[in-house]
Amino acid sequence: MSKIIIGRYIPGDSLVYKMDPRGKLLITILFILTIFLANNPITYAIITLFCFLAIIATGLKARVFWNGVKPLIGLIFFTSLLQLFFMTGGKVFWHWWIFSISSYGIVNAIYIFVRFTLIILISTVMTVTTMPLEIADAMEWLLKPLKVVKVPVDKIALVISIALRFVPTLFDETLKIMNAQRSRGADFNDGGLIKRAKAIAPILIPLFIHSLETAIDLSTAMESRGYRGSEGRTKYRVLNWSKYDLISLAYFVLLVGLLLIFRTH
Amino acid sequence: MNAKKILRTDLQQMIFLGMIVAMKIILSQFSFGSTIVKVGLGFIGSVLLAYFFGPVWGTIGGGISDLVSSAIFGNQGGFFIGFTLTAMAGPLIYALFLYNHPVKIWRIVASTILVTIIVNIGMNTLWLHLMYGMNFNALLVQRLPKEMIAPWVQMAVIYIVLQAVSRVKIKK
């Protein structure tokens, strides 16, 4: 089973770090949506340029971003290749059975490759420059409008923060349980699929019981400290908008403007 | 439904939901199988959410698990609302079959097949098609082989896990 690194945050103090996580999260989501607007070489060039400007603004080494793309590079190539063979139209260079390579296919494969890479890069900018806790706070803020349709946002915020807090703890616990079972002969990487499927229960059940016990203990602790539901409470961790968010907003508006001017309608 | 009886207050339920969401996130980081067919374990988290919390909170928990795992591990395909909907749809379908019902093989088989068709083949392929502008058929060719094998393994795992989980009793 693979090794997991928890948290991808890398400390720094460049421009991007000073931005409000809410602004960053919104712009990341919107950036991914604006990639849909690109439909010709000029717009793809513009959006690539803007993505690289954002990367430079983080002030981090190129290796960080390469590490973000590396695990997916095989998938990206494979996907682009499949697209190359399946897209038809334009000049046909090679044809066999249902596969063909056409000029349209080549252009599209390149577009998909660029899109894929840009989306991963811009998401890497977000996760590398923002602490998980800040991202979670930003998500909570984004969910707030759902209150209008009676979604229990406060409870969701509580669940988010508990999940966030306990992922590392439960992860350590998982490794501990696995080691404990291994020391008594359990084997998680051997045998057929069914044997491996059966090997999951000895990890899962202790983990499950541990979570159940933690839930009971934690709720007792929270109630004894005066927790009576999410309403009527103050906030200790507060997010503040800064002047740097105006820069990112202006940057984004400029990008959308340029894309709308140069895209083929 | 033992865990439901053990948990008394609403707060305990919510914290337990948080813990199961955390479990789903950790499980989805693990996978088993050979290099040809890799089966991620995230579906076990979806099943547990569905089994204990039902369609409403199970679905919400699925959505939260996607948000939190993107916050911690970064979303590998980029932040996209479609994948959050996918994470919500899985527990919803499982809950319709498994919540408040005895563990039966046909329920597991039917829910897994529905999840595979609607969520893994349907929705996820649709999102990739929308997100990257890929050809739908090419995507299906790429994804179908795995989705033909994985569900059968998943059914076996779900059966083993639910059998075991329904026997859990805690004395406090």
Tell me: do A197 and A165 sit in the same domain.
Answer: yes
pLDDT of A219 strictly over 90: yes
Is the per-residue pLDDT at A2 higher than 50? Answer: no
Q: What is the mean pLDDT of residues B65-73?
A: 87
Q: Quick check: B65 and B25 in contact, CB under 8 A?
A: yes
CB contact under 8 A, A166 and B80: no
> Does the distance separating the beta carbons of A193 and B164 come in below 8 Å?
no
Residues 42-71 of A with CB under 8 A from B: 68, 71
Q: Is the pLDDT of residue B6 over 70?
A: no
Minimum CA–CA partner of A193 in chain B: B33
* The pLDDT value given to residue B77: 63
Residues A119 and A248 in one domain: yes
Identify all chain B residues contacting A197, using CB atoms and an 8 Å cutoff.
32, 153, 156-157, 160
Percent of chain A with pLDDT over 70: 96
**Containing structural domain, residue A157:** 153-225
Per 3-state DSSP, what percentage of chain A is helix, strand, and coil (rounded to 5)?
70, 5, 25
Mean pLDDT within B2-18: 80
**CA distance from start to end of chain B:** 17
Distance CA(A3)–CA(A1), nearest Å, equals 7
Higher pLDDT residue, A229 or B15?
A: B15
* Cβ <8 Å between B153 and A156: no
Evaluate if residue A93 carries a pLDDT over 90. Answer: no
Q: What is the mean pLDDT of residues B23-49?
A: 83
Confidence of residue B122 (pLDDT cuts 50, 70, 90): confident
The Cα A153–Cα A165 span in angstroms is 18
pLDDT at A254 over 50: yes
pLDDT at B49: 94
Q: Tell whether A167 and A214 lie within a shared domain.
A: yes
Q: Looking at residue B132, what is its pLDDT?
A: 74
Domain match, A159 and A185 both: yes
- CA-based nearest residue in chain A for residue B3: A212
Q: What ipTM goes with this model? A: 0.88
Asked which of A128-132, B26-30, B76-80, B122-126 is least confident by mean pLDDT, the reply is B76-80
Q: What is the reported pLDDT for B55?
A: 93
Report for A106-110, A128-132, B5-9, B21-25: range of highest mean pLDDT: B21-25
Tell me, yes or no, if A132 comes closer than 8 A to chain B by beta carbon: yes
Q: Is A201 in contact with B164 (Cβ distance < 8 A)?
A: yes
Please tell me the distance from the alpha carbon of residue A262 to that of residue A246, in angstroms, as a whole number. 24
Cβ–Cβ < 8 Å for A28, A122: yes
Asked if A218 and A256 sit in the same domain, the reply is no
What's the whole-number mean pLDDT along residues A7-31? 86
Q: Average pLDDT in the A152-162 region?
A: 91
Has residue A88 got a pLDDT over 80?
A: no
Asked if B18 lies within 8 A of A163 by C-beta distance, the reply is yes
Q: Whole-model pTM above 0.90?
A: no
Q: Specify the pLDDT at position B37.
A: 65
Nearest CA in chain A to B25: A167
Evaluate whether residue A23 is within a structural domain.
yes
Mean pLDDT of all residues belonging to chain B? 85
Which residues 150-189 of chain A have a CB within 8 Å of chain B?
Answer: 155-156, 158-164, 166-167, 169-171, 174, 188-189
Asked if residue A21 has pLDDT above 50, the reply is yes
Let me know whether A124 and A39 are in one domain. Answer: yes
CB contact under 8 A, A112 and B133: yes
- The per-residue b/e assignment along B127-154, b for 16 or more CB within 10 angstroms, e otherwise, is bbbebbbbbeebbeebeeeeeeebbbbb
**Same domain? A198 vs A116:** no
Question: A3 lies in a domain?
Answer: no
Chain A positions in Cβ-Cβ contact with residue B164 (cut-off 8 Å): 201, 204-205
Please give the pLDDT value at position A1. 36
* CA distance from start to end of chain A: 49
User: Are A163 and B133 inside 8 Å of each other by CB?
Assistant: no
Residues A39 and A67 in one domain: yes
| Nearest C-alpha neighbor of B123 from the set B88, B166, B86 | B86
Q: Is residue A211 part of a domain?
A: yes
Question: Which residues have a Cβ under 8 Å from the Cβ of A143 and sit 6 or more positions away?
Answer: A151, A153, A156, A157
A224 touches chain B (CB under 8 A): no
Write down the pLDDT at residue A67. Answer: 83
Q: Quote the number of domains for chain A.
A: 2
Q: Is A115 found in the same domain as A86? A: yes
Position B4 confidence tier, pLDDT thresholds 50, 70, 90: low
Which pLDDT value is given to residue B112? Answer: 95
How many CA atoms lie less than 13 Å away from A147 in the CB half-sphere?
Answer: 10
Q: How far is B114 from chain A (nearest CA, A)?
A: 21
- Asked whether the predicted pLDDT for residue A182 surpasses 80, the reply is yes
- The segment with the largest mean pLDDT, out of A226-235, A256-265, B93-102, is B93-102
Mean pLDDT for chain A overall: 86
Cβ contacts of A78 on chain B, cutoff 8 Å: 142
Do A214 and A174 share a structural domain?
Answer: yes
Q: Are both A120 and A250 inside the same structural domain?
A: yes
Identify the pLDDT of residue B172: 47
Asked whether residue A140 is assigned to any structural domain, the reply reads no
- Judge whether A106 is closer than 8 Å to chain B, CB to CB: no
Cβ contact (<8 Å) for B21 and A163? Answer: yes
Q: Could you tell me if residue A2 is inside a domain?
A: no
Say what the pLDDT of residue A264 is: 83
Task: State whether residue A150 is helix, strand or coil.
Answer: coil
Are the Cβ atoms of B65 and A163 closer than 8 angstroms? yes
Domain annotation covers residue A84: yes
The answer to the question of residue A49 being in a domain is yes
- Confidence category of residue A3, pLDDT binned at 50, 70, 90: very low
Going by DSSP bridges, is the β-strand pair A92-96/A99-102 parallel, antiparallel, or unpaired?
A: antiparallel
Bridge partners for A114 per DSSP: none
Mean pLDDT of A254-265: 88
Contact A205 B75 (CB under 8 A): no
Structure confidence by residue, pLDDT tens digits, B124-164: 888 877 777 777 777 788 788 888 888 988 998 899 899 88
Considering only CB atoms, B133 lies closest to which of A115, A193, A212, namely A115
Which residue in A has a C-alpha nearest to residue B132's C-alpha? A112
Does the structure show a pLDDT above 80 at A159?
yes
Same domain, A209 and A247: no
Domain membership of residue A186 (yes or no) is yes
pLDDT surpassing 70 at residue B105 = yes
